[in-house]
Amino acid sequence: MSENKKEWREYSQTFKQLLCLDSSPVAVTLTKNPQTPSQKKVRICRAILDASKGTATCLGAENNACFGASWHLGFHKIKDPKVSGMVKKFVVEGEKLFSSYEALDNLMSQFVDVPDNSDSFFLLSPLENSEHKPDLVLFVVNAEAACRLLTFLTFLEGKMPKIKIGGPTCRMIIMEPLLTGEPNISFYDYTARKMCNVEKDKLIISFPYNIIPRIIDSIDKCSAGTAKIEFPPEFREFLQKRLTPAKNKTI
């Protein structure tokens, strides 16, 4: 694939038409050579929605507005036990997202370790405007569009995706797919949903970019795309026989 050709830009319109999307797929690129970061502090959960509506963002350690994202995206490490304890207390007793500290620790033990991204930047933009080949493509979609996208995954190789949900939006929809190479789903963690006024019918699906061209190539072959469902003659005959009442059948 040619970086100069920017095939991913064409893919955006294809997905928007196919899935009847009211927003754009979002290109996410992790880089150490950014555009000029926004001077305004930005929350990445908000930036995803903004990018889907047309506003690009360059997010790094200096303009990140969310303390949680600072850790989850690898901008900073929490080394001070007092700070770590304060954060846990807020999540358990403040946000009330976990029944106990043990429940929180159990969730955290299931996270993939995040690398040091203190000198890195996340570029988020509508896929059709992305200057760089994305690392990830995010879709802000309703349940039907999500179903169709997931159907493409099983269509390709028959493998059920290793979906992990329940954690913070940025961790589950950006870092998990980046580090595991697996697609993932987030319903937006409930705090983020409320802070960002996420529409009630929307969730996010994240794909490592290398899967996207394969989905595009499958659109006319898969019924989640444009392929028509067909009944082979022998199967149609089998179904007709099952649905036809048997003569002299006694109950």
Dump pLDDT digits (tens) for 138-173. 999 999 999 999 999 999 999 888 898 888 999 999
How is the beta sheet containing 136-141 ordered, strand by strand? 57-59, 121-126, 26-31, 136-141, 203-208, 184-186
pLDDT of residue 246: 61
Rounded to 5 degrees, φ, ψ at 63 are -110, 10
Show Cβ contacts of residue 200 under 8 Å, excluding neighbours closer than 6 positions: none
Total tally of structural domains belonging to the chain? 1
pLDDT of residue 251: 47
> What is the chain's pLDDT, residue by residue, as a tens digit (251 residues)?
456 689 999 999 999 999 999 999 999 999 997 767 667 899 999 999 999 999 999 999 999 999 889 989 999 988 888 888 888 998 899 889 899 999 999 988 888 889 999 999 999 999 999 999 999 999 999 999 999 999 999 999 998 888 988 889 999 999 999 999 999 999 998 888 998 999 999 999 999 999 999 999 999 999 999 999 888 888 778 888 887 766 555 54
| Residue 110 counted as domain residue | no
| Residue 107 counted as domain residue | no
Comparing CA positions, the residue from 198, 148, 208 lying closest to residue 174 is: 208
Query: 174 to each of 91, 98, 124, how far by Cα in Å?
Result: 21, 22, 11
| Residue 179 counted as domain residue | yes
Structure tokens at 107: 């969730």
| Residue 108 counted as domain residue | no
| Alpha carbon distance 197, 166 (integer Å) | 19
| Residue 83 counted as domain residue | no
E strand or H helix at 204: strand 203-208
| Residue 24 counted as domain residue | yes
Note the residue count of the chain.
251
pLDDT of residue 5: 81
Comparing CA positions, the residue from 172, 105, 164, 160 lying closest to residue 136 is: 172
pLDDT of residue 249: 52
| Residue 84 counted as domain residue | no
Comparing CA positions, the residue from 137, 157, 151 lying closest to residue 222 is: 151
Which domain range does residue 190 map to? 7-77+116-243
| Residue 102 counted as domain residue | no
